[in-house]
Structure 1
């Protein structure tokens, strides 16, 4: 029978130490690989533009996520304002770049989790949570004490610090990182993070160490494990073969969603390298590459997501 990882952490009384350690990372801020060094507890703002409070852009059941997360009740999605990446093509530009959202404390965030659970959502899915891990830990603690019992999904761009992720061990059930780029020159140009390739590989290794391969119940709903997203980019800017080889070497059972929905958003429309959508041929080739490199667990809804312009 499924039991969320955080229930054991609650019983063992380990939430307070995790929260305290995470809050120390806010001043000076070392929460993510940016390591801005600002005093967020003193209301200073770093790269992410947030202080000691998280901002929430939207809360709702989501039926467009990966099939193991959705089921009949949807994924209980909480969109966090801002991001520690600056992808020029971000499809959530208003949230990540323009900072749409409202500040909320731990109790308010916890109530959102309980509301989503009451709606029948199969999990609580935090989107772009990297820069607010201390705030999330506090909110999850409140929600668990008040009856939360569904899996926690950490839905991230992948630019995470191993030290921060270790504080989430025994709290997060499902990690869902992006594996965006494997070339530091591309990641620097397209999202202002030259060290992204090394950071994301280290992060994914740590995530897999904590939760292992994706596990699903008898109804096909994910309960624990790693699920990786890889967005196919024009002219193979995402280095798909290198990405798939890394994931296959991590585990032959790595669950991967190879996504074809890239389209030029934000400032990407003005950049020749990325100002077009992915072609049918590019997507088909990416699927072939994944299989050639040993990836056998592909999101079953991926072929239904074909959107070509």
Structure 2
């Protein structure tokens, strides 16, 4: 395939066994872990956990990525489409509250084939970095019930500095609007999210203004009750980090962000305790469940 699946549109020649492009992956799926994951938002976890499938590779180059061994380090195991479908079934059989597809964009055609035409007994979650192509998202209509995008940046400065994507917001904003167009306002049943959009934003140390601008956009683009918003404090300094990225978010920074979110009228969603910034909350990518 000549790849144009994401906003990079790098046109790399990716074949089932030949990697290429910014994501550095072949067109056939590569998976680093499949598990019942307890550390997603409560509405996705249920009694046993979200059925998370962690795909290898990513179209972003975030300097602070906690999943760097799989997003940029090449860790993962190639699987066939039929095996991927079996993994989905095994997670459902284990009591997964949802099928949580983590960083799936560059494998979208294979994932669509694995999902097939019929409905699944649990919602399918597209858990992505927000740097998405609207045409690719349109191909998912009817197959994905819950979109779980990051909204990492509203300012081009930190987007270019930390993720090599100065056009991040220009791509993420229309992508999130397309997600909402497909799902409509979020729908909950007994505390479980069944459909809709849950937007995540990770507060970065020293980047409070970027967080405010992200919150501004969400509050202006959506009415109360339409989307959920998760303000995350789990930033953890990674090896080799420098400058602001070498420290955790301060209590004052997170309190200011949470107060700004409240003042902007965003009440539907989640905030995190600062104790969420712990390395053990990142799973081991040991190829288990594959």
What secondary structure is seen at the aligned counterpart in 1 of 2:246? coil
State how far apart, in whole Å, the 2-side matches of 1:307 and 1:85 are. Answer: 23
Asked if structure 2 preserves the Cα contact closer than 8 Å seen for 1:125 and 1:153, the reply is yes
Question: Aligned residue for 2:267?
Answer: 296
Question: Aligned residue for 1:163?
Answer: 135
Distance apart, 1:140 and its partner CA: 0.9
> Of 62, 68, 72, which aligns to 1:93?
68
**Alpha-carbon spacing, 1:238–1:206, altered in 2? closer, same or farther (3 Å):** farther
Asked if structure 1 preserves the Cα contact closer than 8 Å seen for 2:233 and 2:272, the reply is no
> Of 106, 109, 130, which aligns to 1:131?
106
Question: Aligned residue for 2:283?
Answer: none
State how far apart, in whole Å, the 2-side matches of 1:240 and 1:199 are. Answer: 17
| CA distances 1:210-236 after superposition (whole Å, capped 9, x unpaired) | 11232110x211100000111111122
Question: Aligned residue for 1:154?
Answer: 126
> Of 6, 12, 29, which aligns to 2:3?
29
What secondary structure is seen at the aligned counterpart in 2 of 1:229? strand
Question: Aligned residue for 2:170?
Answer: 198
Asked if structure 1 preserves the Cα contact closer than 8 Å seen for 2:151 and 2:214, the reply is yes
> Of 12, 15, 29, which aligns to 1:38?
12
What secondary structure is seen at the aligned counterpart in 2 of 1:225? strand
**Alpha-carbon spacing, 1:266–1:188, altered in 2? closer, same or farther (3 Å):** farther
RMSD of Structure 2 on Structure 1 (CA) = 1.7
Asked if structure 2 preserves the Cα contact closer than 8 Å seen for 1:53 and 1:103, the reply is yes
Asked if structure 2 preserves the Cα contact closer than 8 Å seen for 1:181 and 1:238, the reply is no
State how far apart, in whole Å, the 2-side matches of 1:197 and 1:222 are. Answer: 26
Distance apart, 1:183 and its partner CA: 1.2
Question: Aligned residue for 2:192?
Answer: 221
Q: Could you state the TM-score of these two structures normalised by the residue count of structure 1?
A: 0.85
Is 2:191 the counterpart of 1:257? no
1:13-28 matches, cutoff 5 A: 27-28=1-2
**Alpha-carbon spacing, 1:76–1:305, altered in 2? closer, same or farther (3 Å):** farther
Q: Could you tell which deviates more after superposition, 59-68 or 290-299?
A: 290-299
What secondary structure is seen at the aligned counterpart in 2 of 1:56? strand
Bigger helix fraction: 1
Is 2:118 the counterpart of 1:111? no
Q: Could you state the TM-score of these two structures normalised by the residue count of structure 2?
A: 0.90
> Of 57, 60, 73, which aligns to 2:48?
73
Asked if structure 2 preserves the Cα contact closer than 8 Å seen for 1:178 and 1:230, the reply is yes
Asked if structure 2 preserves the Cα contact closer than 8 Å seen for 1:182 and 1:238, the reply is no
Runs (5+) with no aligned partner, structure 2: 279-290
Distance apart, 1:114 and its partner CA: 0.3
What secondary structure is seen at the aligned counterpart in 1 of 2:15? helix
State how far apart, in whole Å, the 1-side matches of 2:231 and 2:130 are. Answer: 15
| CA distances 1:167-201 after superposition (whole Å, capped 9, x unpaired) | 00111000000011111121111011111111111
**Alpha-carbon spacing, 1:231–1:264, altered in 2? closer, same or farther (3 Å):** same
Asked if structure 2 preserves the Cα contact closer than 8 Å seen for 1:39 and 1:45, the reply is yes
Asked if structure 1 preserves the Cα contact closer than 8 Å seen for 2:14 and 2:25, the reply is yes
Asked if structure 2 preserves the Cα contact closer than 8 Å seen for 1:231 and 1:261, the reply is yes
Asked if structure 1 preserves the Cα contact closer than 8 Å seen for 2:44 and 2:97, the reply is yes
What secondary structure is seen at the aligned counterpart in 1 of 2:101? strand
State how far apart, in whole Å, the 2-side matches of 1:228 and 1:99 are. Answer: 27
Distance apart, 1:97 and its partner CA: 1.2
What secondary structure is seen at the aligned counterpart in 2 of 1:294? coil
> Of 248, 256, 275, which aligns to 1:285?
256
State how far apart, in whole Å, the 2-side matches of 1:52 and 1:266 are. Answer: 30
Asked if structure 2 preserves the Cα contact closer than 8 Å seen for 1:248 and 1:294, the reply is yes
**Alpha-carbon spacing, 1:174–1:206, altered in 2? closer, same or farther (3 Å):** same
